[in-house]
Structure 1
Amino acid sequence: MKSSYIEQKLAQIRSQYADQPEYLQVVEELTQFSQLHPSFETAFEQDNIYQRLMTPDRIISFKVEWVDDHNRVNINRGWRVQHSNLIGPYKGGIRFHPSVNESVLKFLALEQTFKNALTGLSIGGAKGGADFDPKGKSRAEVMRFCQAFMDELHRHIGPTTDIPAGDINVGSREIGFLFGRYRRLQNQFTGALTGKEIDFGGSHVRTEATGFGCIFFIEEVLATHDKTLDGQIIAISGAGNVALHAAQKASAEGARVVTLSNSQGFLYYKNGLSREMIDSLLNHAQSLSQFAEKIGGQWHEGKNPWRVACDIAIPCATQNELDLTDAKQLIGNRVGYVFEGANMPCTNQAIDAFRQAGVVFAPAKAVNSGGVATSTFEMGQNAIFSPKPFTEIERDLRKIMHEIHHHCSDGNNHDYLIGANSFALNRLVRAMLAQGV
């Protein structure tokens, strides 16, 4: 998008939020790599659509007071950024990590808004979390923190208002604690959160959905080049839920997954991790470096996997993990495809380098949208109190990843970044114009 109006508003946002680099990163990416439909151009400026779309509806900030195992009172900060409910109730994860702050959550909530619009489903965008570090905390401490967090959050969520899910350090255990508190406070059993255990309203495939969805999307892209996953060498960063389930599904389809990583370094296994190896990591908590030694792989301390030659790179760890230097290494090793498994793991400079080098690049809002899509399936099952079997949900997930690929590529010559952003942008603009100011 380019115009004097957009340049003026972008400059205003940069000035107003100069201390929020993560938020500015996504604003600038969406601005640079989106195409507005010509029929909206006049109204876009007259109704100040750009600034309205980039600005969250509200930011809820609160303190979280909780008691640790030594009977000491601790205080953390909690937030919920409700960015947009133009096309459906707010939807997005909750993250517990020391790096969480308002800028990070605004960045994630804006990206979530576009991601959710891209799915074609009726869901808006939000994100929440706290600067709480669960590492080293007992189960009782994590439970008490979740309960204290929900004591504040419950006023602002609900099955037709805002439906949080899990994110970094918020898995099914934490969702269970959060939901249990919500149920008691509201005296209601409703689908106010997703990512629950199957026994109390959760959905099959939800745990696997983001990783499986990544692979389903990759298969769609490869098919446009008359290729399959069979024999493709894949480098994956991360060793969490998304990375491991992506590795699991890719291995099952014949790919050679040669890397996984964590904050200490990366595992390289030249012959490709087998399904049994990946299952072992999924089912048993263990050190990745010790696992590398156990299977006869190589452990590279303090390094990331982007120095490894591969056909396909899937960054699945965290935002901005893959920078320009990493991109140049991958390009030098003739990578053909880069798919974002985590939320915006590539810096804008890295994305520019891939595009200039002719590497096929697909953004997170397309590649990892299987998680939120399956959360929406869980919302539907909760609404009618009727669960669906694993095979049916997996089939629905594959179908929606096919639709998302179509949304990205239709009329954009397989420029997945511009295609994804533009489909979401124009859908949101239509809704905003139709609903008035």
Structure 2
Amino acid sequence: MNAIDEKLQPILSTVLHRNAGEPEFHQAAREVLESLGRVIARKPEYSDEALIERICEPERQIIFRVPWVDDNNQVQINRGFRVQFNSALGPYKGGIRFHPSVNLGIIKFLGFEQIFKNALTGLPIGGGKGGSDFDPKGKSDREIMRYCQSFMVELHRHIGEYVDVPAGDIGVGAREIGYMFGMYKRLNNRFEAGVLTGKGLVYGGSRARKEATGFGTAFFLRSMLGVKEIELEGRCCVVSGSGNVAIYAMEKLISFGAKVVACSDSNGYIVDDNGIDLDLVKQIKEVKRGRIKDYVALRRDGSHYVENGSIWDVPCELALPCATQNELHGSDAKKLIENGVIAVAEGANMPSTPEAVRLFQSAGVLFAPGKAANAGGVATSALEMQQNASRDSWSAAKTESRLEEIMINIHDSCHDTAEEYGVPGDYVLGANIAGFERVADAMRAMGVI
């Protein structure tokens, strides 16, 4: 990790002052600014016309009330957010997160990351993010439907195929997208398929979208290991989380011949020395919507459950944090390094703390940042938009092939940019600079807007 260039320090100071009480956004902005000193030294034109300051300031921040009625006929109130951060490359694109931890700072950090992640895909999409502090856990389908409909009553004013195209995120899957899309269609009296992605196949969704983020992380990891001529086959892996990203990262790793021995949810983690039974995990999490501890009772032989522990205590060669932001701390990184980890690929958004990233890089551990390694989801969302625009539907094989191609290109861009700027192997710096330069060039071409 790099110190912030003195020319960029006033920009960071402004970000901290203007966005008080938003530590996740501060962290995301600091990480990008730490990478840009080398850029403005080589290309001083990027520091003209307050370009970097403009990138750090959202184009629009929307906060709204979401009233809804629960199954006990009681009125509940939640808060909704949409941060439309940067549209230099295309319509705002980024997920909607439903989780009680959601606040403006978290949505801004996610939207800021999304700018550079989307730029890395090479596709014409800008950066944005949205969500609510609504907790779907324990709610009935009817409650979730009513909530999604109320959420869309306000959100529909701010989105559109050429304006802002949300998708899912934590707490928002195909069920929630369906409810929101139905309400959007009713409010606008038109079938605008491209306004939301992550839709069901029968009404405009893309094959391989559900798998895309996890698959993409595995593709990026394979490319990163390939530079060092390291094979994935036979490697011991630990994957945090057990949602879409984790499940499909595990699926692709297993298909590559790796052995996944542990995964988790918010209550604890399971270890299976024989290798995780992925079909059982899918049954528990996708069908029954249960807790990961149920795995041990159903699987029994060779597995055990640890409540409220750290999954990073489990020895592995490859670690994939695929749960949530700042889940992997410095102490976890030290434990992983002691246990011989050789590579870390982030499937979630900013899951490793700055201290953890520094420790990995200092120890020579290959490290793939989330804005590059988990870009497969948004890339495939953009492919869904492409199919919607052309009234087409691709096969799963075609979609996955395009995803693999995009992830290889993202890896190569990050790798080559790091080498160009004199820090070979630093994928954090490579991702930040490659994404920044694409957005910055578009902004400079459009003038001061």
Query: What one-letter code is carried by the residue in structure 2 that aligns with 1:429?
Result: A
1:273 aligns with 2:280: no
What is the DSSP-based 3-state SS (H/G/I as helix, E as strand, rest coil) of the residue aligned with 2:195? coil
> What do residues 348-384 of structure 1 show as CA deviations (whole Å, max 9, x unaligned)?
1111111111111110011111000000010001111
Contact 2:145 2:179 (C-alpha < 8 Å) held by counterparts: yes
Contact 1:248 1:278 (C-alpha < 8 Å) held by counterparts: no
Change in CA separation of 1:226 and 1:40 when aligned onto 2, cut-off 3 Å: closer
**By how many angstroms is 1:71 displaced?**
2.1
Cα distance in 2 between the residues matched to 1:30 and 1:336: 24
> What do residues 115-172 of structure 1 show as CA deviations (whole Å, max 9, x unaligned)?
0011111100000011111122111111111111100010110001000000111100
Query: What one-letter code is carried by the residue in structure 1 that aligns with 2:305?
Result: W
Mapping of residues 47-196 of structure 1, within 5 Å: 47-190=49-192, 191-196=194-199
What is the DSSP-based 3-state SS (H/G/I as helix, E as strand, rest coil) of the residue aligned with 1:5? coil
Cα distance in 1 between the residues matched to 2:220 and 2:38: 24
Of 271-280 and 425-434, more deviation after overlay is shown by 271-280
1:211 to 211, 214, 218: 214
Cα distance in 1 between the residues matched to 2:64 and 2:15: 24
Contact 1:247 1:278 (C-alpha < 8 Å) held by counterparts: no
Partner residue in 2 for 1:294: 298
> What do residues 94-120 of structure 1 show as CA deviations (whole Å, max 9, x unaligned)?
011111100000000000111001111
2:312 to 284, 306, 311: 306
Query: What one-letter code is carried by the residue in structure 1 that aligns with 2:85?
Result: H
Partner residue in 2 for 1:415: 426
Cα distance in 1 between the residues matched to 2:381 and 2:38: 29
Query: What one-letter code is carried by the residue in structure 2 that aligns with 1:219?
Result: R
Contact 2:281 2:295 (C-alpha < 8 Å) held by counterparts: no
Of 157-166 and 281-290, more deviation after overlay is shown by 281-290
Q: TM-score, normalised by structure 2?
A: 0.94
Change in CA separation of 1:124 and 1:411 when aligned onto 2, cut-off 3 Å: closer
Partner residue in 2 for 1:435: 446
Mapping of residues 367-386 of structure 1, within 5 Å: 367-386=373-392
Cα distance in 2 between the residues matched to 1:218 and 1:242: 14
Contact 2:93 2:127 (C-alpha < 8 Å) held by counterparts: yes
Cα distance in 2 between the residues matched to 1:236 and 1:384: 37
Contact 1:261 1:304 (C-alpha < 8 Å) held by counterparts: no
Cα distance in 2 between the residues matched to 1:214 and 1:5: 34
**By how many angstroms is 1:428 displaced?**
1.1
Cα distance in 2 between the residues matched to 1:315 and 1:168: 14
Of 64-73 and 416-425, more deviation after overlay is shown by 64-73
What is the DSSP-based 3-state SS (H/G/I as helix, E as strand, rest coil) of the residue aligned with 2:122? coil
Contact 1:114 1:125 (C-alpha < 8 Å) held by counterparts: yes
Cα distance in 1 between the residues matched to 2:313 and 2:376: 28
**By how many angstroms is 1:218 displaced?**
1.1
What is the DSSP-based 3-state SS (H/G/I as helix, E as strand, rest coil) of the residue aligned with 1:18? coil
Contact 2:224 2:366 (C-alpha < 8 Å) held by counterparts: no
**By how many angstroms is 1:36 displaced?**
5.1
Query: What one-letter code is carried by the residue in structure 2 that aligns with 1:418?
Result: L
Of 425-434 and 276-285, more deviation after overlay is shown by 276-285
Cα distance in 1 between the residues matched to 2:354 and 2:102: 21
**Structure 1, unaligned runs of 5 or more:** none
Instruction: Give me the identity figure in percent.
Output: 47
Partner residue in 2 for 1:242: 245
1:319 to 316, 325, 329: 325
Contact 2:285 2:291 (C-alpha < 8 Å) held by counterparts: no
**By how many angstroms is 1:39 displaced?**
8.1
What is the RMSD computed on CA atoms of the aligned residues? 1.5
Query: What one-letter code is carried by the residue in structure 1 that aligns with 2:434?
Result: F
Change in CA separation of 1:188 and 1:277 when aligned onto 2, cut-off 3 Å: same
Cα distance in 2 between the residues matched to 1:156 and 1:276: 39
Partner residue in 2 for 1:363: 369
1:233 aligns with 2:236: yes
Cα distance in 2 between the residues matched to 1:39 and 1:18: 29
Mapping of residues 334-349 of structure 1, within 5 Å: 334-349=340-355
> What do residues 27-67 of structure 1 show as CA deviations (whole Å, max 9, x unaligned)?
01111134554587433333111211111111011101112
Query: What one-letter code is carried by the residue in structure 2 that aligns with 1:289?
Result: K
